[in-house]
Amino acid sequence: MFNIFKSSAHKTLSLKFYHGYGHTQNLVLYGHVFNGNTVAKQQYSNNFFKNIKYLYQIFNVKPAPAVEVFLNFNGFIIKTTSERDGFLKFQWTSNQHVEAGLHKVNGWIEDSEGEILAESEGYIYVPHITQLGIVSDIDDTIMISYSSKIGQRLRELFVKHPRTRKSFPGIKEHFKKLALAKTTIDQPNPFFYVSSSEWNLYEYLKEMFRYNELPEGTFLLNNLKTLSNFLKTGKTGHRGKLLRIMRVIDTFPNQKFVFFGDNSQLDPQIYAEIAQKYRQNIVAVYIRNVRRSKINDSLYYIEKINAYHIPALLYKNSFEAIEHSKTIGLFL
């Protein structure tokens, strides 16, 4: 979750972990290794230049490839090596039963003599098997982003900060109801936020969600970007998002899921493919209509999803979606 840096004769490295997820037989944690100090302080200012400075800092990163990283989970040590873009993926089976809940993990990088070069801590979320899972896109599903219009999307990033970014009216209420659907307040349903936004925006998005009182969850974001390809922020291939969602369902094959997306890009098509492959795992699909020009295409995919006997709705207003969820019995 946070980085600790240590200078030595070696180049300074920093280590960052994100929220992981899983169960006893399949635990997953993601992270990154960077060269240099990557801490960027968000000042929550409406000043254009301060926001530009913050964005510059979070995209002016230097990934560190081929770095061996160690992870301690309940005394069990796992190690992996960072990929070309500094990305880390730990995936392991626990040597003991893992109770449902949030579990702290610690990780570090060391040199050949065992000296610690960088440390970080993260968390693994293990849901109860009886719980409902919610998988949601972020941009233009939860947060007003103008994903299909690069100029307006960049304006939202430049002019606003996480506490002034707006979520759609009613989405907080819908998610809070789903968080407690068929469960109790001490065991809220897990949320998985699968987005085209890059890992650079992880802290930005976490603060936006916290400030807007949206349920905490596991973020599964797009490949890290550097300054050289900043203008392509928020763009990803159809396949990448599809694979991230499939990994979640494959990790929890006995879980039931509710999906949220929008028609600014390819969510209707992606969710139709997911519905075809995992129809027994999906209880509802919601697509926010943010592009009039895409209504007919969206309805085509909604009908495909319905053909698998999965309730699906193309909606404009979140309160419509809430009523639909009541109608199909997700909550009262």
CA distances from 227 to 57, 113, 316 (A): 9, 35, 35
pLDDT above 90: residue 40: no
Q: Which of 135-139, 235-239, 247-251, 287-291 has the lowest mean pLDDT?
A: 235-239
SS3 (DSSP) at 203: helix
At residue 235, the pLDDT reads 57
At residue 21, the pLDDT reads 96
pLDDT tens for 256-306 read: 999 999 999 999 999 999 999 999 999 999 999 999 999 999 999 999 999
Cα 272 from Cα 144, distance rounded (Å): 23
pLDDT tens for 113-154 read: 999 999 999 999 999 877 899 999 999 999 998 776 766 777
Q: Which residue has the higher pLDDT, 41 or 105?
A: 105
Identify the CATH class of 132-327. alpha beta
At residue 232, the pLDDT reads 60
Work out the pLDDT band at 4, boundaries 50, 70, 90.
very low
Whole-structure pTM value? 0.91
Cα 289 from Cα 282, distance rounded (Å): 20
pLDDT above 70: residue 37: yes
Q: What is the mean pLDDT of the chain?
A: 90
For the chain, the domains span 2-126, 132-327
pLDDT above 70: residue 61: yes
pLDDT tens for 171-229 read: 999 999 999 999 988 889 999 999 988 999 999 999 999 999 999 999 999 999 888 77
Total H helices, total E strands in the chain: 8, 15
At residue 55, the pLDDT reads 86
pLDDT above 60: residue 9: no
Looking at residues 7-24, what average pLDDT do you find? 82
At residue 250, the pLDDT reads 96
Name 237's Cβ contacts closer than 8 Å, sequence gap at least 6: none
At residue 329, the pLDDT reads 97
CA distances from 33 to 4, 17, 193, 225 (A): 12, 9, 22, 14
pLDDT above 50: residue 71: yes
Beta bridge partners of 218: 192
CATH superfamily of 2-126: Immunoglobulins (2.60.40.10)
As a whole-number percent, the residues of the chain with pLDDT over 90 amount to 73
At residue 63, the pLDDT reads 95
Name 138's Cβ contacts closer than 8 Å, sequence gap at least 6: 145, 193, 195, 197, 205
